[in-house]
Structure 1
């Protein structure tokens, strides 16, 4: 009877590892990316406003305030290249309008950022080259008008209930506990900037945030800063700007605020993802060119905000996968540093690869079905009809009174005529 020789332990380990590798490859191959939503902040820009004691005026900036710079163009071009590489096995190598859709807010800096992004994402090749000396092609950027109900620029205005929540936030213990340590600093800032102290204390009016932003822009572009704008001062201003963003969309009654703000965009994104899961005719990618407050409001609504201001070209990815089981899942990734891979973001209560149904269930508390109603806005058409009904009612009463007076006037005339006879 022969002796059965067993493989040596190293061979068993190698064999087991080989089988495991094959299984992992098969699992990976069976998982398929189906749809992507991208939300990014515009690139580097000039200041939005200056403060009373600012050393520099708008005329010192080549294109004026709020405009994309060459640095910003390069940042978004690089983000486009990164997106192209990240989804090289998913997106078509050349632009296809059936696959891709980009929407921007109606600001020069976001429109120009979108165009810079597209030049990095879809440089023309082969038959799409229309000018051999210019490796660029025009690709549509759909502009979301400022008057549109579906907005990307937060905070959404004309919402009385949100204004009430902002006033409540200012006096809430959550806010006061965070702002109190900075009171002496704010008094000094009022003297240095020429801004009113009461306005600086109200972080939701953007005055301190805008002042920090102006100094930040001037520092990036090597403009002379005021002598009081030391590194320590600017760091404190940055912390207060971060608190401003957090208190604007969260900190106090986060869910209700999100229903009126970031949840609006989240609902739009979720509906697009659901459509992609239910239809084979859906495109492959939707992109939004927007602002730091857009990403902040969205992440606070998702309860994944890291507390930091989204930097220029910060980018949030939503990826829809179809698992080997046939079910769908969502992954979120956040790119806020071009030198590093994006961070994986996990929705609280779920895993990093969150089942679509579970994702929708978890975010449902921050999604509203009737934004105007929850904002406390009255239906204008109802007001019109109500006013019309009131006017008709008053007219009827007026007619009845008039008929009554005419009737009595007639009787009086007849009585007087009878007496004369």
Structure 2
């Protein structure tokens, strides 16, 4: 639905494309695949190695254990008030998001909820950390976002070498807040927060002269109009594709999805 809404805004019909005077819309295809097969946008789907690595991270990460320990009293209180036993950062974050959506829809919320979801509060901080968790090790980043990064870099390489078929100027991926935070965190660019609705990450390829190219990355939080390029760690605001391959070599898969996701014997 988000993809369709974006395309309707980007490509309104003109002249002979207008088929109804009251509906400024034309059909544009959105290509999808079953979730279990979509390892580009949902890298952890059907990936036993990722599931095992993430479970180990949740159970053993000093940062995760510290957050749960330091906020034990709050977590017990929230559990009592919402009627659900909250034991993981994922569960706390899901509660936070549900409450935030209810607030945004002007639902009448009890006092404990208003206090719990106040800006820069404890629950928001825990929910924000959740968006780092899924890619917070090299192995997790490789299995979760690596195939998306690999595909984007391959498109850039093909564009530079004039071998891209079809020869598109823009590729759109439509997914979720986790897709954005996972990608940003894998690049080392994510500051913990809950990505707002309609956020987007932009990777742009620029050509300078005949043979020189560079890439910039931008992050748009919902309604921002003026974007500044992000400072890519150990590279800067303008990076060649070769530089990016070297920087992120350890999180770009060099085998097929099934092989990468196979549990080690």
Please state how far the C-alpha of 1:353 moved relative to its aligned partner: 1.1
Of residues 76, 95, 111 in structure 2, which corresponds to 1:211?
95
1:159 lines up with 2:48 in the alignment = yes
Please state how far the C-alpha of 1:372 moved relative to its aligned partner: 3.0
Aligned equivalent of 1:136: 25
The one-character-per-residue Cα deviations of 1:90-137 (angstroms, maximum 9, x if unpaired) are: xxxxxxxxxxxxxxxxxxxxxx11111111101111232233332211
Please state how far the C-alpha of 1:154 moved relative to its aligned partner: 5.5
Of residues 373, 381, 384 in structure 1, which corresponds to 2:259?
373
Please state how far the C-alpha of 1:356 moved relative to its aligned partner: 1.4
Unaligned runs of 5+ in 1: 1-111, 379-421
Aligned equivalent of 1:319: 204
Aligned equivalent of 2:128: 242
Aligned equivalent of 1:170: 59
Please state how far the C-alpha of 1:257 moved relative to its aligned partner: 1.0
Please state how far the C-alpha of 1:377 moved relative to its aligned partner: 4.0
Q: List aligned pairs for 1:95-110, cutoff 5 A.
A: none
Q: What is the SS of the residue equivalent to 2:174? A: strand
More strand by share: 1
- The change in CA–CA distance for 1:155 and 1:260 in structure 2 (over 3 A counts) is same
**TM-score, normalising length: structure 2:** 0.89
1:191 lines up with 2:113 in the alignment = no
Give the conservation status (yes or no) of the 8 Å contact 1:170–1:176: yes
1:333 lines up with 2:222 in the alignment = no
Q: List aligned pairs for 1:6-17, cutoff 5 A.
A: none
Of residues 264, 270, 274 in structure 1, which corresponds to 2:147?
264
Unaligned runs of 5+ in 2: none
Q: What is the SS of the residue equivalent to 1:289? A: coil
Aligned equivalent of 1:273: 156
Over the aligned positions, Cα root-mean-square deviation in angstroms equals: 2.2
Q: Which moved more, 1:265-274 or 1:159-168?
A: 159-168
The one-character-per-residue Cα deviations of 1:338-368 (angstroms, maximum 9, x if unpaired) are: 1442242122111211111111211111111
Please state how far the C-alpha of 1:316 moved relative to its aligned partner: 0.5
Of structures 1 and 2, the one with the larger relative CO (CA 8 A, separation 6+) is 1
Aligned equivalent of 2:110: 226
Please state how far the C-alpha of 1:334 moved relative to its aligned partner: 0.6
**TM-score, normalising length: structure 1:** 0.58
The one-character-per-residue Cα deviations of 1:200-259 (angstroms, maximum 9, x if unpaired) are: 3322xx322111111111101111223310234453222111112212221xxx211111
Q: Measure, in 1, the Cα distance between the counterparts of 2:100 and 2:110.
A: 12
Q: Measure, in 2, the Cα distance between the counterparts of 1:117 and 1:170.
A: 39
- The change in CA–CA distance for 1:207 and 1:249 in structure 2 (over 3 A counts) is same
Q: What is the SS of the residue equivalent to 1:230? A: helix
Give the conservation status (yes or no) of the 8 Å contact 1:166–1:248: no
- The change in CA–CA distance for 1:175 and 1:147 in structure 2 (over 3 A counts) is closer
Q: List aligned pairs for 1:39-188, cutoff 5 A.
A: 112-153=1-42, 155-188=44-77
Give the conservation status (yes or no) of the 8 Å contact 1:154–1:293: no
More helix by share: 1
